Chain A
Amino acid sequence: MTAFLAIVKLTCRSAVRSHVFRFLLVLLLLSIFLLPFTLLSDGTPKGEVQIYLQYCLGFAGFILFLSSVWLVCSEVCSDVETAQIHMIAVKPVRRAVVLLGKYTGVVLIHLALLLIAAVTVYVFLSVRLSTSGFSEADRAMLDEQVLTARALYRPVRPDFDAMAWKRLEDRLASAKGHGQELLQYQDGDVRQQAFLEIRKELIATYGLVSGGDSIVWYFEGLPKRLNEDDLVFLRYTVYVNRYYTYDQNTIRGSWLFGVNYTRPDDNGGETVVSDMIAMQEEEILTAAQNEMAVPVKNTYFVYDGKAQVGFLNSDTKTSELNFEEGKGPFLLIREAGFFSNYCRAILVLAIGILSVTLLAAAVAACMSLPIAIFFSAAYMLTGGLATYLVSSIPDAVDFQAPYTETFGYQYGRVLLELLVPLQDFFVTGQLANGELVSFPFIGMLFARDFVLRLLPIFLLGAWIYTRRELALVSKRG
């Protein structure tokens, strides 16, 4: 343990002396102190706070990631390349302990810097809020939509598979009823093809509401105990017509909200009555994200963790409205305070530092400095590109996409299973949008990225480090 602590201490000392580390430290300070004065927001108080949170924390995190990769690679590789490792190797210290000590030293120094950055950004934000002179209304909006931690709930997705099979069976039965035996559908491939077509059609038409029609979404898993004063928000984007475009129009419609209340029954007990109430018809902008507070007291609206939201399209002039899946409606419910959410975002960044340093340490244990840095950076960037690849081909999930797109999508999925995308650790966007960074998410991130994906790589690296013929490498260097 003494040896381990000594290595940690030496690593910290050596890190502080590194020129690159000092340069990155200056960049970090600049990002915290100067960046807020150079950022351009949309000019609204909300935008100002959002861009401040997202960019200041994001930049600080990015620089710390870079710094930790550089430093751990430098600490591990330079010892080998300058033959300093022999000084340690002759002592009764296991090489794995050396590697772990260096890793711990770099992590500790960066966690300390992260803490300083986080405290500074938070203090800056608090000072800015108290001296900005925002109006009461703006302040209230900030408290409701940004300086909060709202969980986002999606409506229950219908079982499209079951619906598609049922529709196919119904159609075949109907055809049979009319004396038409469709024998070709007994073939598995043809049957599967028909199922996929129907499924595709069901998904595409799921969120369509014709003029005069209505649609209802069901929400489950909402918090069972809500604070009476807390507001529930509804977020949605609606488009005109089936094949949506980004052209904006104004349409008319009414939102419907499920309400639940108790009524005395004939047996002297109470019965829960569920009903839908319609709000006043309003003008709605299409192809734009809209958000509104649910105008029903949440104790009536959310019952037993469930809620219902509907929409009546009273605009008979437009052919149909499209609530495309994935773009709402969502319910947003406050589940924690801003400070708590802020700490969680910092915790995620801390996990990020732990993870990238772990990867870089593992790679540095068996490669030279430039290759180790390049490999670590390439690993992270490829993970990031894989995320982009998967998210840019959404149709491949539900539809029979062209082969190239399906290949790209599946390739991205495989990469995502193997690699750790850097952006996983940047939840500053969520923080700036007032969205909850939940503990299950943090736990999942830690377990999946750190424990399952990077720890085995580190262990492999440590094993190679213990087996590696360092004298030859030093001699060559």
Chain B
Amino acid sequence: MKNRYALFFALLAGTVLILFANVFVQDRMAVVVKEDKLVDESFAAEGTPPIVAFSTMALGGFRGLIADVLWLRAGELQQKGKYYELVQLSDWILKLQPKFSTAASHMGWNMAYNISVACKRPEDRWRWVRRGIQLMQEAVAMNPNNPDVYHELGWIYQHKLGNVLDDAQRYYKETMARELIFVYGKHSPDWEAWAAAPATEEALRERFPADHPAWLALMAYNQGDLARLFGEFQLNGGLPKELKDKLSDEDASVLDCYFRRKWLKKDWSLEPEKILAVNKAYGKLDWLLPESFAIYWAHVGLEHTPGNENLALTRQILQSLVATFNYGRMLLPKDNEVSDFFLLVPNTDVIDATRALYKKILKESKYSTAIFESLYENFLIDSIVTLYIYSQKEEAAKLFKELRTETKNGNSRIMTLDQFVLNEWEDDITSSDFKQIANELEGILFTSCLLIGYGDREAAADHLALALRVYDSYARKHADIDRVTLPPFSEMKARTARAIIENYPPEIANRVRAELEEDLKKQEQQAAEKAAASGAGQEAAGS
């Protein structure tokens, strides 16, 4: 009996001790949960999305079974090539199993990659890529603390849309830019104004109380029905003229920004505050391009990971920054109007952020850094050459100094900046044959003429100067060999300009024609003289 009491009291004491110890542990656990992002903050703040709450409560444990059946059906339909149900099935699966991020990632990737390429028409392909993106956006909303879904979403932008592996990649870029410019209203919106605009209907009502002239104008227009007005806004790409005329410029701007940020959030899940943060962190990005979106999602993903550390997301940012540096600015023939004649040129604004990220990775890497060192050196060299030929010689000089001091690059120590840049090209020239050098020269000339066409005269002049230096250097080295002599520089330039005039839209062609009028006339004159001379020669031979 005694023993039984002893055991009972011992157990009781143990239990009390454990409960007491729990008091100390609980606080620590709460901190860990918060720090390690073990709960979704947005779910905690806003509550679980209604559809997820409903399916969880109504279906209970059967959710998984139903999701399995839908998954099997989706697979079977895909094998049969019947894709039209897949969007609906994927949506249901995601809503039934919102936390099964691997399944969501697979479905998004499947739509964007596998199903899209099963379509022949680029518009159909784009539709599937867009569906994949939308599904991943939803998956991100359901799993805000899961870095994998951010990475998968960013990957579709970075690899599927940004890269050149798909036959329809130019169509994707063009369509994405066209859709976005409709939302933005112009190529580069004022993100600060967007961020300052009310984010919710409640905030808008606070800004425009019932007696505010703007609200009275809204009431007069459609009884203050903001949902209907938003529908009209999306249809027209702006506020209806009838309403706009009744609003002051400032109020119209606030309302315009309110609807646009709402639209951007609805269709692309982007928020202007975060865009500003990304621009601040990495340099001014062109928000028509997929790489900017990849950086955005990787950046937001990092914010949701414990300690803001995630190797895959960091790499995604770095890779996208390098791509942005190379092709991260979209030039359009007509301002704010996207056409398939867009031109992608380097975005030098991201150089500092890219360098900083390279340095961070090199500093923090626990493994071999040789590859990253080499990548960093190459990036610096590319940056120097690009800055040099895009009229930013001071910046190029700074990087050149860094190349000299922080890397093992030998040339930078014994050459001036001018020599170094030309040397980079001369390397190509020396190792290139006649055909290759002609192609390269034509490439630089083509870019130069195109930059004229897109209105970037300064960069065009720098490209032209570089082309002339490359031409002279080649001509000097091969002056004694007739069969590999290049045509006169002006002729090459005029020929390239003519190709652009004949093939590009009038806006571009007219600018090129106006700028290079003299060269074109000169070339026409020379051609006429040549033809006349050859005609006279033939006549002489005939007589």
Give complex CA distance A47, B127 in Å: 12
A39 within 8 A of B: yes
The distance from the CB of A136 to the nearest CB of chain B, in whole angstroms, is 16
A391-431: which have CB < 8 Å to B? 429
A43 within 8 A of B: yes
- Digitize A10-54: 1 where CB-to-B-CB distance is under 8 Å, 0 elsewhere: 000000000000000000000000000001111110110011001
Chain A nearest CB: distance from B94 CB in Å?
A: 11
Across the interface, do B82 and A433 meet the contact criterion of CB distance under 8 Å?
Answer: yes
Check A285–B120 contact: CB distance below 8 A. yes
From the candidates A40, A246, A289, A432, name the one contacting B87 in the complex (CB within 8 A).
Answer: A40
Asked if B88 and A40 sit within 8 Å, CB to CB, the answer is: yes
B81 with A41: CB separation less than 8 A: no
| CB neighbours of B91 from chain A (8 A) | 40
Instruction: Tell me if B20 is interfacial: C-beta within 8 Å of chain A.
Output: no
Partner of B88, one of A39, A44, A237, A432: A39
Contact among B79, B80, B127 for A42, CB-based, below 8 A: B127
Given known A55-B88, A248-B117, A288-B118, contact A237–B81 (CB-CB < 8 A): yes
Picked from B79, B81, B85, the residue with its CB within 8 Å of the CB of A51 is: B85
B367 within 8 A of partner (CB): no
Contacts of B83 in A (CB 8 A): 42, 47
Assuming A237-B81, A248-B114, A433-B82, is B120 touching A42 (CB within 8 A)?
A: no
List A252-300 residues whose CB lies under 8 Å from chain B. Answer: 285, 287-289
Chain B interface SS verdict (over half): helix
Chain B residues with CB under 8 A of A287: 118
B114 with A41: CB separation less than 8 A? no
What is the predominant secondary structure among interface residues of chain A facing chain B? loop
Most A CB contacts (10 A, CB to CB) among B79, B81, B84, B88 go to B84
**What chain A residues lie within 8 Å of B131 (beta carbons)?**
42-43
Cβ of B388 under 8 Å from chain A: no
> What residues of chain B lie closer than 8 Å to A43, measured between beta carbons?
87, 127, 130-131
Is the pair A50, B84 in contact by a Cβ cutoff of 8 Å? yes
The answer to whether B172 has its CB under 8 Å from any CB of chain A is: no
Q: Which of B109-126 contact A (CB under 8 A)?
A: 114, 117-118, 120, 124
Q: With A and B bound together, what is the CA distance between A47 and B88 in angstroms?
A: 11
- Residues of B with C-beta under 8 A to A285: 117-118, 120
- Tell me if B239 is interfacial: C-beta within 8 Å of chain A: no
| CB of B95, distance to nearest CB on chain A (Å) | 11
Q: Please give the distance in Å from A43's CB to the nearest CB on chain B.
A: 4
**Residue contact A289 to B81, C-beta cutoff 8 Å:** yes
Closest-CB distance, B190 to chain A (whole angstroms): 32
Name the interface residues of A35-83: CB closer than 8 Å to any CB of B.
Answer: 39-44, 46-47, 50-51, 54-55
Cα-based distance from A42 to B82 in the complex (angstroms): 11
B117 vs chain A, min Cβ distance (A)? 6
Q: Which residue from chain B places its CB closest to the CB of A248 in the assembled complex?
A: B117
By beta carbon, the residue of chain B nearest A39 is: B88
B258 contacts chain A at the CB level, 8 A cutoff: no
Whether B128 sits at the interface, judged by CB under 8 Å, is yes
Q: Is the CB of A288 within 8 A of B81?
A: yes
Assuming A237-B81, A288-B81, is B87 touching A41 (CB within 8 A)?
Answer: yes
- Contact of A42 with B118 in the complex, beta carbons under 8 Å: no
Residue B381 CB within 8 A of the other chain: no
| Interface size class of chain A, counting residues whose CB lies under 8 Å from the partner chain | 20 to 34
Contacts of A46 in B (CB 8 A): 84
Residues of A within 8 A of B128 (CB): 42
Bound complex: CA A248 to CA B86 (Å): 19
Least Cβ distance of A55 to chain B in Å?
7
Contact B124 A44 (CB under 8 A): yes
Q: Which of B124-179 contact A (CB under 8 A)?
A: 124, 127-128, 130-131
B453 CB to closest chain A CB (Å) equals 33
> Do the beta carbons of A51 and B114 come within 8 Å of each other?
no
B84 — which chain A residues lie within 8 A by C-beta?
Answer: 41-42, 44, 46-47, 50-51, 432
In whole angstroms, what is the CA distance A104 to B386 when docked? 84
Complex CA distance for A39 and B86, rounded to whole angstroms: 11
**How long is the Cα–Cα vector from A456 to B124 in the complex, in angstroms?**
51
Give the residues in chain A near B79, CB-CB below 8 Å.
Answer: 246
Q: A248-B114, A285-B117, A285-B120 are in contact. Are A42 and B81 (CB under 8 A)?
A: no
A383 to chain B, nearest CB (A): 16
Contact indicator per residue, chain B 68-97, by CB within 8 Å of chain A (1) or not (0): 000000000001111111111001000000
Give the nearest-CB partner of B113 in chain A.
A248
Of B80, B85, B130, the contact of A289 (CB 8 Å cutoff): B80
Closest A residue to B88 using CB positions: A40
Contacts of B81 in A (CB 8 A): 237, 288-289
Q: Name the B residues within 8 Å of A55 (CB-CB).
A: 88
Q: Which residue of A lies closest to B124 (CB)?
A: A44
Which B residues touch A42, using CB under 8 A? Answer: 83-84, 86-87, 127-128, 131
Closest to B92 in A: A40
Report chain B residues within 8 Å CB of A433.
82
Q: Which residues of B contact A47 (CB under 8 A)?
A: 83-84, 87
Query: CB-CB < 8 A to B118: which residues of A?
Result: 248, 285, 287-289
Contacts of B86 in A (CB 8 A): 42
B267 to A: closest C-beta gap in Å: 13
- Cα distance A100–B128 when bound, in Å? 52
Instruction: Output the nearest chain A residue to B69 by Cβ-Cβ distance.
Output: A388
CB distance from B66 to the nearest CB of A (A): 14
Give the residue among A40, A41, A248, A285 with the most B Cβ atoms within 10 A.
A40
Q: Is the CB of A51 within 8 A of B120?
A: no
Shortest C-beta distance, B127 to chain A (Å), equals 4
A63 to chain B, nearest CB (A): 17
A432 to B84, CA, bound (A): 10
Q: Which residue of B lies closest to A55 (CB)?
A: B88
Residues in B whose Cβ lies below 8 Å from that of A289: 80-82, 118
* Shortest Cβ distance from residue B92 to the other chain A in the assembled complex, whole angstroms: 9
Q: Determine the distance from Cα of A405 to Cα of B175 in the docked complex, in whole angstroms.
A: 49
Shortest CB distance A292–B (Å)? 11
Task: Please measure, in the bound complex, the distance between the C-alpha atom of A142 and the C-alpha atom of B117, giving whole angstroms.
Answer: 22
For the complex, give the distance between the alpha carbons of A248 and B130 in Å: 20
Q: List residues of chain A with CB within 8 A of the CB of B85.
A: 50-51, 54
Verify A41–B117 contact, CB threshold 8 A.
no
Contacts of A237 in B (CB 8 A): 81
Residue of B nearest to A283 (CB): B120
Residues of the B chain whose Cβ atoms lie less than 8 Å from the Cβ of A44: 84, 124, 127
Minimal Cβ-Cβ distance residue in B for A391: B76
**Centre residue among A237, A288, A432, A433 by max chain B CB count within 10 A:** A288
Q: How far is the CA of A246 from the CA of B127 in the complex (A)?
A: 21
CA distance A44 to B124 in the complex (A): 8
Q: Are B88 and A51 in contact (CB under 8 A)?
A: yes
Q: What separation, in Å, do the CA atoms of A50 and B81 have in the docked complex?
A: 14
Shortest Cβ distance from residue B81 to the other chain A in the assembled complex, whole angstroms:
2
Q: CA separation between A433 and B117, bound complex, in Å?
A: 21
Inter-chain CA distance A429–B80, complex, in Å, is: 12
Residues from chain A with Cβ under 8 Å of B120 in the complex: 285
- Looking at A42, A46, A288, which has the most chain B CB atoms within 10 Å of its CB? A42
The minimal Cβ–Cβ distance linking B122 to chain A, given in whole angstroms, is: 13
Could you tell me the distance in whole angstroms from the C-beta of A250 to the nearest C-beta in chain B?
Answer: 9
Question: Shortest CB–CB separation between residue A362 and chain B, in angstroms?
Answer: 28
**Bound-complex Cα distance A51 to B86 (A):** 10
> Distance in Å from the Cβ of B174 to the closest Cβ of chain A?
18
CB of A280, distance to nearest CB on chain B (Å): 16
Closest 6 CB pairs of A and B: A289-B81, A47-B84, A288-B118, A43-B127, A40-B87, A50-B84
Q: List 5 A-B contacts (CB under 8 A).
A: A42-B86, A54-B85, A237-B81, A248-B118, A285-B117
Can you name 12 extra interface pairs (CB under 8 A) apart from A289-B82, A432-B84? A40-B91, A43-B131, A50-B84, A51-B85, A54-B85, A246-B79, A248-B117, A285-B118, A289-B81, A289-B118, A429-B82, A433-B82
Give chain B's interface residues, CB within 8 Å of chain A. Answer: 79-88, 91, 114, 117-118, 120, 124, 127-128, 130-131
